[in-house]
Every structure is written in structure tokens, then in C-alpha cells.
Chains A and B, each alone.
Chain A
Amino acid sequence: MPSAVHVFDASSPWRLSNQVSLRDEAFGALAYHHGNRRLVFLKSPELVALVRSLEEFASADEAIDAVVASGQHQRYVQALSSLLNSEILCGR
């Protein structure tokens, strides 16, 4: 299945896709996309909290600064970017 190339811009607003369900697990969460039927692992509770909070912030950058310990900004931009590629996130 060809999928469009998604570019993640951390200065834009994002949210969890409506097609995705999250299930909390000790390591973080499982994310399941009901449309493309892909199962994705969110490998830390911080990432789960970040993903859930995206909608409350004007940009991903702001959400990261508010939710994640400082010094890890770039790491979480990358994590969100890969979630966009799996269509777990979408723009708003």
C-alpha cells in the first residue's frame, strides 16, 4: 500500500488520529490504527502522555516542552515524526 510522505513540522498543531485506539501497558502503550490495521508500540509512558496531550497545545514543540523533561526535545520530535508516518497522528 503506497502511503503519502508525511512531513512532521513540530511548530504545527497535531493530535491523535480518530482512527487510533490507545491501550496503556507497563512499558507505555499499544496504539492500533483501525484503518490501516497497524499496531504500533509507544515505548515510554512519557511518549504516551505527550501524544495524549498534543491536542491541548498550539504546537508539538509546546506540548513537548510542557510534558517531557528538558534536554530530550529532539528525541521526542523524532518519536512523534515516526508516529506520523504510521498515521497515528494527524494535523489539525
Chain B
Amino acid sequence: MGADFSLRNRFERGLAAPICLTWELTYACNLACTHCLSSSGRRDPMELSTKEAKDLIDEIAAMQIFYINIGGGEPMIRRDFFELIEHAVKQKVGVKFSTNGTRIDEEAARRLAAIDYLDIQISIDGADAQTSDRIRGAGSYDQARRAMDNLQAADFGQFKISVVMTRESIEQLDEFETLAQHYGAELRLTRLRPSGRGVDVWEELHPTREQNRRLYQWLLARPNVLTGDSFFHLSALGDPLEGLNLCGAGRVVCLIDPVGEVYACPFVIHDEFKAGNVRDAGFAQVWTASELFRSLREPGNPGACGSCGSYDACRGGCMAAKFFTGLEMSDPDPECVFGHGEVALEKKRLTIRPTPSPDHSKRVAVAITSR
């Protein structure tokens, strides 16, 4: 599609409803990935009830949000998972959901295959068990592959294989492509954000500048690889990548968490980016009237990036990546392709970085020595 600047300017002022609405159904998860952007693990006792979740779906349908991206936690852990997605697709609200695949046995695969308007993304973090399990836990890669086998056997059709680009996985791009081809699947690559538990691993796992440059070239040659507009900060390297190439937070994108809190995007689960709760006056009210979202729709201040010739291409990069690495919104993206972010980070070495607000990580068992 290429960059359409006039349309992008329009989008930066916000839309009547989001295009990309992510809804984390639960904080419960049976895995404990080291980079989990929602710090998931334990269910929150305040999570939306089935009735509240269905009301929210009705509101989403009324706002003509064409599809929702469902995640978690592991969304399939919710007992009403099928009830909710069936409620959505019945009203022509398409569902794209992200799963670790552990709950997609043969029967679940058949049930999923029977539902229209449904897309599935199965997450792995390496093209082999060793690499992937280092992030997602022992056995998780094999379980994800079993889910893919089951979907294929159930004739689900084309699903997506979703991979977060880390210093390790980025070395396996061709292997991921081969794996996707093996299943007739689409490949989806997204950016590692320092959000949630990702705060703790970002420094050692985020791609190097040289790796990012290789990724950019690889993606440019493969416009059919999906990225969810994740790598727009790399568009400063030249031709824009596929997608809108803008930070959509609060403008075309937002996140609803399992307890109904609305955040500006999936990568900023933090009080500072909380716009309101759907339990108060509904989602539409938050989307249109929240002060935070209104301010995000104001023309941005290019800050330190104002004098850079590539500002139009990358718009200063990702808000969440800056925030959780301790940078200001007016600073360059920490992974600025020209290295300006590294300089900014170096200057802020002593700054105390924000930690993500709600932490639903499983409590770590402390070994108690017996007397």
C-alpha cells in the first residue's frame, strides 16, 4: 500500500472507533513467557463476567468495529471462551485470537474450524524447541506444533504463526518462513517491547541495530509477511514497510484488559496510559471522551527527532518502547535505526524506569529448606 501521508495525518487525529482493538480476555496463563507484555499468569478475580463480556461485544458490534484481536493470558483458559467468540462472530464481529496452542487438541481444532470469521495466531519464539522454549518454557514449542498439526488435520484453513523478534529468533527468519510454508500458514512477526515482563529481558533480547537492518530488508522483500505495523520505526531506513506506519495508540488502536480497563495500546499496561474502564460508562464513552485519548490525538511534538530528515518516516517510533526504557516521549525510539536512541538511553542510565502497573505473574515458589 505504501505510505499515504494525508490519510495518515487523518488517522493521527483519531477515528470514530478503533480499527485494531485488542482485548485481553484473562490474565490467567498456563505458560510464563519471559517477555509477556501483560505480565500474565494468575487470573484476576475482577475479570469481566460472561454477561459483561457479551455486553461489551454487543457494544463493539454497534460501533462497527469489524474485528477484535483477542489475547491474554491464554484466552482459551476462560471457560466461556467458545461462548464469547461465537457471540462475536454471530454479529459479524470477526475474531482474531492469539494463543499458545496448548488447548487446541483435536476436538478444539474441529470446533474452531467450524466457526466463520475466525483467525488464529499461534505463538512460538524460535524455529526449534530449544530456542523457543528458552522464552516460553519447556515443552511449549512441541505443544504449539501439535496445535498447528491439529488445525491442519481439522482443515481449519490458513492460520498464522506469530513470532516476537528477539536477538535469537531474528537469526531464524528463513526457518520461520519454511515452517509457515509447511503448514500453508501466514507468518506474522512482531517487535519485542519492553512491556510487562519484557522490561526485564528487553536489554539482552532486543535486536541489535545490524539485526534490525537485516529484518527491514527481509520484510521489504516479503510484503506478504504480516507485522501488525510493528516495525514502523524501521521505515526510517528507506522505503516504508507495509502498513499505516504510525503509532496508532489511542487513535486507531487500543487495548481492553481482562478487568475492563482501557489502555492506549497493548504495550502500555500502565496507569499513565489508562483511559477509563468499560464498566463505568461503556467502551464508546472511553474511546471518544477520554482525556488521555484526546491528548494523544493532538499533533505530536517531534522533540529531539525534529531535526532528523527521517521523522516523517518513523514519527519518532514507539511510545511504549520509549516509556518503559525510561525515555521521554520527545526522545528518539530506543531502537532508532540511526543510533540516536542508544545515545539517549546512555544519558538516562541512572533514571529509574517505570514498572508495569498490574502484575499478574505467577508467584515464584521460594525454596524452603527443611530443618
Q: Which residues of A contact B (CB under 8 A)?
A: 21, 23-27, 30, 32, 34, 37, 39, 41, 43
Contact = CB atoms under 8 A, between A and B. Distances in A.
A25 B16 contact: yes
B209 interface: no
A39 B7 contact: no
A59 B7 CA distance: 29
7 cross-chain pairs, A with B, having the tightest CB-CB distances, nearest first = A32-B66, A23-B64, A27-B10, A25-B16, A25-B15, A34-B92, A41-B7
Contact of B67 (A25, A37, A43): A37
A24 B92 contact: no
Contacts of B19: 30, 39
Interface string B61-81: 000101100000000000000
Interface of A is mostly: strand
B338 interface: no
B135 interface: no
B236 interface: no
B17 interface: yes
Contact of B66 (A23, A24, A26, A41): A23
B117 interface: yes
Contacts of B92: 21, 34
A43 B9 CA distance: 12
A23 B16 contact: yes
14 contacts: A21-B66, A21-B92, A23-B17, A23-B64, A25-B16, A26-B10, A26-B13, A30-B66, A32-B67, A34-B94, A34-B117, A37-B94, A39-B66, A43-B7
B16 A27 contact: no
Contact of A34 (B7, B15, B16, B66): B66
Interface residues of B, number: 15
- For B16, B17, B94, which residue has the most chain A Cβ atoms within 10 angstroms? B16
Interface string B115-128: 00101000000000
Contacts of B17: 23
Interface in B1-59: 6-7, 10, 13, 15-17, 19
Interface in B101-127: 117, 119
A27 B66 contact: no
Contacts of A32: 66-67
A9 to B, nearest CB: 26
A26 B16 CA distance: 8
A37 B7 contact: no
Contacts of A25: 10, 15-16
A1 B117 CA distance: 17
Contacts of A27: 7, 10
Given A26-B13, A34-B94, 16 more contacts: A21-B66, A23-B66, A25-B16, A26-B10, A26-B15, A26-B16, A27-B7, A30-B15, A32-B66, A34-B66, A34-B92, A34-B117, A37-B94, A39-B19, A41-B7, A43-B6
